[in-house]
Amino acid sequence: MSQQSTDTVTAITIDTLTPVREFYGAKVDNQIHANATHMIGFGFDGTACFRKGTRNGPDALRAVSEDIESYSPYLDADLFDHSFYDLGNLSLGHGDDVEYQWQHATDQFDALFGEIDLAAQNVRVLTLGGEHSISYAPIRKYLAQYPELVLLHLDAHADLRDGFLGYHYSHASIIRRSLDHFGPGHELIQYGIRSGTREEYQFMKEHKTVRTSRKDFLESVAALPADRPIYLTLDLDYFDPSFLPGTGTPEPGGEDFHSYVSLMKILRQKNLVGADVVELSPEIDPTGNSDVFAAKIVRELLIILNEKGAR
């Protein structure tokens, strides 16, 4: 492509909320640039059904990001190798109603990226949550833009309920709501799932979306064509709570950091076009270890997205 990463392609500029600090290595901006990766925070926990606190996840990740190395020894790459942008946080508006807050921030996301052709402009987006319901806005956008998209879902929970506790757009229904926008060329791959209803498990088995072993999962991703677009939605309760306790709905039996690194090495050879990382609840882990763990998760993702975005 002839455009450089400094070319602004924003159709509309949104006054997002200033974060506590930018993610380490990022440029602060509220415009969209071609051939670049953009981070946006969506700090919302209104539909969380067990323990809240994920509204503070995006800024907790940013606050600790400078305290980890910008260099990844796993990828032999650095956050400073390519430019990327921190757009700040979406606003929940001024009302107290949960559905109003979610819709206000979702509308802001749509206004910010709605007129952008992500594929043509090579714009990559990493959204930080917040609980998992925040993923609806970016996933819907990516499904609309990429008719052959693979939605890679890492989570302890199936998230296939048709709403939960009165919320149609619940953190427990995010994948079900995403499937509402699936076309014939889209594909769902799920891994790490270890909690759900009988009906959710029946759906996953019937539609062959779930992988039940690490080997099968990694082989499934490795087998994807190198140019096929992939979007990763990562709920941090995917990891075992012994490693990352700072999340609202912990489930024993999860994955570790090194299995995640194995996935990142595969995704580096694929076409990762966007991602979200959700469900960090900083106050639940007063040691701060979960914040550091999550920041390293984000660092690896950013490096891969930055490399793809710089093409």
Mean pLDDT of 41-68: 86
Q: What is the mean pLDDT of residues 42-69?
A: 86
- pLDDT over threshold 60, residue 15: yes
Quote the CA–CA distance of 295 and 300 in Å, as a whole number: 9
* Beta-bridge mates of residue 229: 271
Residue that is written with structure tokens 């990763």 in the block: 232
Mean pLDDT, residues 75-101 taken together: 91
What pLDDT score was predicted for residue 45?
79
Most confident of 27-36, 107-116, 166-175, 234-243: 234-243
- Give the model's confidence band at 1: pLDDT under 50 very low, under 70 low, under 90 confident, else very high: very low
What letters, b where the CB count within 10 A reaches 16 and e where it falls short, cover 210-246? bbeeeeebbebbeebeeeebbbbbbbbbbbbbeebbb
pLDDT at residue 11, rounded to an integer: 59
Instruction: Check pLDDT > 90 for residue 4.
Output: no
> Does the pLDDT at position 165 exceed 60?
no
- pLDDT band of 164, cuts 50, 70, 90: low
d(CA 58, CA 280): 8
Q: What pLDDT was estimated at residue 3?
A: 41
Render pLDDT for 242-298 as a digit per residue (tens, 0 to 9).
999 999 889 999 999 999 999 999 999 999 999 999 999 999 999 999 999 999 999
Confidence of residue 29 (pLDDT cuts 50, 70, 90): confident
Q: How far apart are CA 87 and CA 77, in angstroms?
A: 23
Q: Return phi, psi of residue 112, to 5°.
A: -70, -40
3-state secondary structure of 101: helix
Strands 123-129 and 36-42 come out as parallel
Say what the pLDDT of residue 46 is: 60
Mean pLDDT of the chain: 91
Other beta carbons within 10 angstroms of residue 261's beta carbon come to 17
- For residues 38 and 87, the answer to whether their CB atoms sit within 8 Å is yes
**Whether pTM exceeds 0.85:** yes
Least confident of 30-34, 97-101, 164-168, 292-296: 164-168
Which pLDDT score is estimated for 166? 58
Instruction: Please report the pLDDT score of residue 96 as a whole number.
Output: 79
pLDDT tens across 115-160, in order?
A: 899 999 999 999 998 888 999 999 999 999 999 999 999 999 999 9
Query: Does pLDDT of 95 surpass 80?
Result: no
Please tell me the predicted confidence (pLDDT) of residue 170: 67
Task: State percent of the chain over pLDDT 70.
Answer: 92
